[in-house]
Each structure stands twice: as structure tokens, then as C-alpha cells.
């Protein structure tokens, strides 16, 4: 049994706390909000974000960050991507040298173009940082429905430790040394999911979504490979696997926000309607900046930015995508 602190009590943090406790580990769940901690102590579930996933009586709920970190063999950082830097900064004083932090947030910081693990390593240099990602909606993980995910780390031993702590008959974990590829895929699939949702909102069909998913992973893999990631990562769990589920699932907040924008909602109104952080909105600009930095053509990422931040009508954006100049799919001619 391991002593594990889950830092962040949203839907994903709650689901992972439930899973890890079912695996036999001792769990402390930290929340930024005092009222949220009181909600957990009273109801043992996140009534607002993940109702029905009830945590055991011996799970410790706290809003004291030191209590969430002290004496823990492993920390799971499950705050939304915009809060990763500030939370990491606050964690620094309490993290011991070599303490493992597993990032499960998905995003790229717009100002610096850093991945989440890069940010954590910058803010908490004494920590050993890893990442866990893949097709894993909290709503299904919290019901014990089967899925498969990948743990990335600098050292094989760390990845295999994470694998052993998280893995069970319904939660299979692979390992990988390609942390960069895992994180690029995880962040940018949310932007493609916005596009898929917009297409759904416009009333387009399965053909449209299949095309967006296929060309979306092509864009992501081109960029990631140019940045130094392993090409195969983008055709694995954290690439095409996570992209498919995020573009197609009713649980996807990014797809839902896109769907509302396809129906005519503004970006702000769509985010308010979803009631949770829409990670793709925060990663869209970063993805566009990375495409410009590495001189990689990413037309879907570009038009999503135009819909989000330039008020381009969604149907016009789709039409422009379809009317682009003729291309060779393989670039082999």
C-alpha cells in the first residue's frame, strides 16, 4: 500500500482518488476551495462535477496543501492546466527531494509554450516529474469501465512504479519515455475536439468528424515530431486514442463547448454553459504559436483560433478548410 496525495479535486482528481483507493492505497485528496473540502467531508463525492462516484470513509479530505503533500510516496497533480504553475509554486516548499509528481493535466502554457511537466520541473526542481495520459474520461473511470492509458517518465523505474500503483483489471497502464510526445498529443487533441464539436453543432455528419480526427492527428504528429517527439507516440494511447474519445464522447467538455459554438454560442457563453475548464481554449493559441515557431502547417488549429478569438463564423471556417488548395496526402509525389 502506498501513501498518495491527489492535488486537485475536480472530476479527474476525484476519479483517480477513487481508483487508487480501490487499488488499496491510502489517499489524501486536496482541494483549493474550503467549501469543496467540506462538501467532500459531508458527501464523500464531488456533487457538482462527478456525482455518484463515492469515496471511501478513510479517504482524507483537506484544503491544507502541506497535509496533502507531507509523507506521500507519490503525488498526483490534477488541477486544471491554467492552475498548474501557481499550484506548483505553492507546493515547492513542501515537496521533498526526489518526491514523484505525476501530472494528469493536459495543456501548453501560452506565454512560455511549455508543457505541464516542464512547468512543474521549473517550479519544483527537486521533484521527479512524470505524466499520465490517454483515453480516460473521469465519468467512465469512476464507474470502473475498462480503459488503457500511458505513463511517461524520464526514468523507466519511475514509469514502472506508476504503472504498478495505478494498474488494475479495468485500468491498464503502459509505459513510455516520450513525455514530450504524450503531452503534445494530450494538449492539442483538445483543440481538435473543439473543431469536432463545432462540426456537430453545425449539423455535419460522421464523415466530417472522421476527416477532422484524421487530419487533426496528422497536424499534431507533424508538430510533435518537429519538436523532437517520437512519431509513434501520436498513433498510440495519448495521441489517436485520446483524440478519438475526446472528439466523439458525450463526456468531452471540449467537444461540448465546440458543439455550443457551432450552435451560435460565443466562446465565453459556451465555457460558462459547460461549467468546467475547457482546456482546448487555453491550448489553442499555444498550438498556433508552436506551429509558427516550428513552421508547421496546422490549418485546423488555425481556424479554431479564428473561431475562438476572431469571431469568425463557424460555417465560414469549415468552408475555408474545405476550399484550401489541393494537397497530396503523403507528400510523396
Of 20, 8, 12, 110, the residue nearest 59 (C-alpha): 20
Q: How far apart are CA 17 and CA 113, in angstroms?
A: 29
When pLDDT is averaged across residues 22-47 and rounded to a whole number, the result is 97
* CATH code, domain with 164: 3.40.50.720
- Longest CA–CA span in the chain (Å) reads 65
DSSP character at residue 312: -
Q: Give the total residue count for the chain.
A: 333
Predicted TM-score (pTM) of this structure: 0.94
pLDDT at 330: 80
Q: Which domain holds residue 137?
A: 3-177
Contact between 53 and 29 (Cβ < 8 Å): no
Examine the residue annotation and report whether 189 is marked as an active-site residue of this protein.
Answer: yes
Task: Tell me: do 149 and 205 sit in the same domain.
Answer: no
Measured torsion, CA atoms of residues 25, 106, 226, 323, in degrees rounded to the nearest 10: 140
Among 72, 106, 189, 209, which one carries the catalytic annotation?
189
Task: Tell me: do 249 and 306 sit in the same domain.
Answer: yes
139 exposed, middle or buried (CB, 10 Å; 0-12, 13-18, 19+)?
middle
Please, what's the b/e burial string for 200-238 (b: 16 or more CB within 10 A of its CB; e: otherwise)?
bbbebeeebbebbbebbbebbbbbbbebebeeebbebbb
* Structural domain contains residue 330: no
Of 130, 163, 164, 169, the residue nearest 149 (C-alpha): 163
Q: What is the pLDDT of residues 162-192, one digit of tens each?
A: 999 999 999 999 999 999 999 999 999 999 9
Task: Tell me: do 143 and 15 sit in the same domain.
Answer: yes
Last-in-domain residue among 142, 177, 212: 177
Q: Which sign does the torsion angle of CA 137, 139, 140, 143 carry? A: positive
* CATH code, domain with 230: 1.10.1040.10
pLDDT tier at 274 (50, 70, 90 boundaries)? confident
Q: What is the pLDDT of residues 69-123, one digit of tens each?
A: 999 999 999 999 999 999 999 999 999 999 999 999 999 999 999 999 999 999 9
Number of domains, the chain: 2
* Structural domain contains residue 328: no
Q: What is the pLDDT of residues 294-331, one digit of tens each?
A: 999 999 999 999 999 998 998 998 888 888 888 888 87
pLDDT at 231: 96
Mean pLDDT of the chain: 95
Task: Tell me: do 200 and 116 sit in the same domain.
Answer: no
Task: Tell me: do 30 and 156 sit in the same domain.
Answer: yes
Amino acid at each position: 500500500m502506498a501513501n498518495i496525495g491527489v492535488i486537485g479535486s475536480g472530476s479527474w482528481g476525484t476519479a483517480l482518488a477513487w481508483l487508487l483507493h480501490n487499488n488499496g492505497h491510502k489517499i489524501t485528496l486536496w482541494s483549493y476551495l474550503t467549501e469543496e473540502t467540506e462538501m467532500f467531508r459531508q458527501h464523500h463525492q464531488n456533487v457538482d462535477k462527478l456525482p455518484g462516484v463515492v469515496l471511501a470513509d478513510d479517504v482524507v479530505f483537506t484544503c491544507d496543501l502541506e497535509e496533502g503533500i507531507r509523507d506521500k510516496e507519490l503525488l498526483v497533480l490534477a488541477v486544471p492546466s491554467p492552475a498548474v504553475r501557481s499550484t506548483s509554486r505553492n507546493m515547492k516548499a513542501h515537496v521533498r527531494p526526489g518526491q514523484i509528481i505525476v501530472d494528469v493535466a493536459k495543456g501548453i502554457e501560452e506565454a512560455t509554450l511549455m508543457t505541464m511537466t516542464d512547468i512543474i520541473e521549473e517550479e519544483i526542481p527537486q521533484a521527479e516529474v512524470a505524466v499520465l495520459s490517454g483515453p480516460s474520461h473521469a465519468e467512465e473511470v469512476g464507474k470502473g469501465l475498462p480503459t488503457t492509458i500511458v505513463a511517461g517518465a524520464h526514468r523507466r523505474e519511475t514509469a514502472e512504479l506508476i504503472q504498478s500503483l495505478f494498474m488494475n483489471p479495468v485500468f491498464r497502464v503502459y509505459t513510455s519515455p516520450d513525455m514530450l510526445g504524450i503531452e503534445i498529443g494530450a494538449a492539442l487533441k483538445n483543440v481538435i475536439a473543439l473543431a469536432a464539436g463545432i462540426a456537430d453543432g453545425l449539423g455535419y455528419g460522421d464523415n466530417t468528424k472522421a476527416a477532422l480526427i484524421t487530419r487533426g492527428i496528422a497536424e499534431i504528429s507533424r508538430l510533435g515530431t518537429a519538436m523532437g517527439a517520437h512519431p509513434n507516440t501520436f498513433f498510440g494511447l495519448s495521441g489517436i486514442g485520446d483524440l478519438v474519445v475526446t472528439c466523439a464522447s458525450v463526456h468531452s467538455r471540449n467537444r461540448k463547448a465546440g458543439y455550443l459554438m457551432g450552435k451560435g454560442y460565443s466562446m465565453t457563453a459556451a465555457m460558462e454553459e459547460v461549467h468546467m475548464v475547457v482546456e482546448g481554449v487555453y491550448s489553442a493559441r499555444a498550438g498556433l504559436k508552436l506551429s509558427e515557431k516550428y513552421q508547421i502547417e496546422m490549418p485546423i488549429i488555425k481556424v479554431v483560433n479564428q473561431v475562438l478569438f476572431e469571431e469568425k463564423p463557424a460555417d465560414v471556417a469549415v468552408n475555408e478548410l474545405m476550399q484550401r488548395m489541393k494537397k497530396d496526402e503523403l507528400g510523396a509525389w
